[in-house]
Amino acid sequence: MFIGKFIILISAVSLAFAQTSPSSLCGYQSSSGVFPTCLSTIFSGYPRGNSSLAIQGQTSSFTTAYGNFTNGLSAYSVNTIGSNNFSSGYMTLFNNTSGSGNIAILRKAGYWLTTGWGNVFEGMSAGQTVTSGCRNVGIGFESLAGGNSGGLLALTGCDNIAIGGYALQALSGTSVGMIGIGYRACASAYSIYGVCIGYSAAPLSSGVLIAICSNCAPNLTVGNGSVIIGTGAAATPTIAQNLVLIGSNADAGAGALTGLIQLQTGKNSASNTAQAWTINFLDNAGNATFKTVGVYVGSPLSSASTIAPANGLTHVTGTVTISTITVPTVLQNGAAFTGCINLIPDGLWTTTTGGNIALGSTAVVGKVLQECFDGILWYPSY
């Protein structure tokens, strides 16, 4: 007990004097290896010069390095000119040669760092594959560890923040500006400027996205441009882009979807559409519509016995009688579509009751014909 307290005292005092003394190496695998000699060096009070302190550190390669501190077996194994570093733990900053201003705490933290600077790693194997990266922060077991099923991948990027066990675990290459906070947050990411906050938030995603949730997007591997907020959100999609899923269990389909919105509980399986649960949208005329297909103008259709409008507003040309209107494929909270669409007549076509239309109509050019579907038939506005 006394010896332990004495070593702690010596460590504190040596740090205070280190800036005015030459390199101080104490203990097993340090170049001095003679504790009394080390103490004499620490307290010698040289006016200026190299000043590094190692307690059980393998630091025999120090040349012009200064301001370093290490307490760990085999730490600073090859450091020559790297300065102002702090490490504590077995093999911390093991491969550092010229990196400066780094902090590494616990076993193998910052292990492969060579020239990187300004990094902070705290946790077993945290930041172990950062090589020349800068200003990265990895706090937690194997955060920023560069690991995936294919092995270890070097990270040379800067300004990434990982807090939590396995957070940004597989981040690699020139990835920059990623933020992962929480257990396995964006654990497989190798992207830029993404944000994952929450327990197991988007653990497999490699796209640029924002995920603020817990246990969300468990299967999403590519989610570029997506925003996912809410517990259990995005439970289904695997490859998708530009999704907006907000609310507990807000979900999308499993296909290669893009540009869809789901607010609150429910599943939207149609690209470029929006839906919500217990929320009314306003259409382009200011009318409240609970279940809506996009209110922008879609591609024009030619009148035929069966037409399939996919948007809220659709121009229809020709003179052929229409008997069936295909129901849009968008799901409403997991159920089939019900709601209204607007047909803009550009020709003198008619509708008939021979299919799923409740009442026949004669189109008037320039006058919108609204058809509303109740789950069985389409009902016209005139």
What does the pLDDT look like over 323-337, one tens digit per residue? 999 998 765 545 677
d(CA 67, CA 47): 14
Beta bridge partners of 322: 351
Taking the model in full, what pTM does it have? 0.66
pLDDT for position 147: 67
Summarised one tens digit per residue, pLDDT across range 216-261 is: 999 998 888 999 999 999 999 998 899 999 999 999 988 888 888 8
pLDDT for position 149: 46
pLDDT for position 58: 53
Extract the tokens encoding 312.
Answer: 């809220």
CA distances from 69 to 55, 56, 79, 86 (A): 8, 11, 12, 5
What percent of the chain stands above pLDDT 90?
49
Q: Which of 85, 16, 83 is nearest to 45 (CA)?
A: 16
pLDDT for position 343: 94
The greatest distance separating any two alpha carbons of the chain, rounded to the nearest whole angstrom, comes to 105
Summarised one tens digit per residue, pLDDT across range 348-380 is: 999 999 899 999 999 999 999 999 999 999 999
56 band by pLDDT with thresholds 50, 70 and 90: low
53 band by pLDDT with thresholds 50, 70 and 90: low
pLDDT for position 151: 60
pLDDT for position 235: 94
For the domain with range 287-382, which CATH number is right: 3.40.50, 2.60.120, 3.30.110, 1.10.3470? Answer: 2.60.120
Summarised one tens digit per residue, pLDDT across range 4-48 is: 443 443 444 344 333 334 455 555 444 444 333 443 343 333 333
Integer Rg of the chain from CA: 32
Residues of the chain with CATH 2.60.120: 287-382
Summarised one tens digit per residue, pLDDT across range 286-309 is: 444 444 444 567 789 999 999 999
pLDDT for position 40: 37
d(CA 138, CA 339): 50
Extract the tokens encoding 152.
Answer: 């270890």
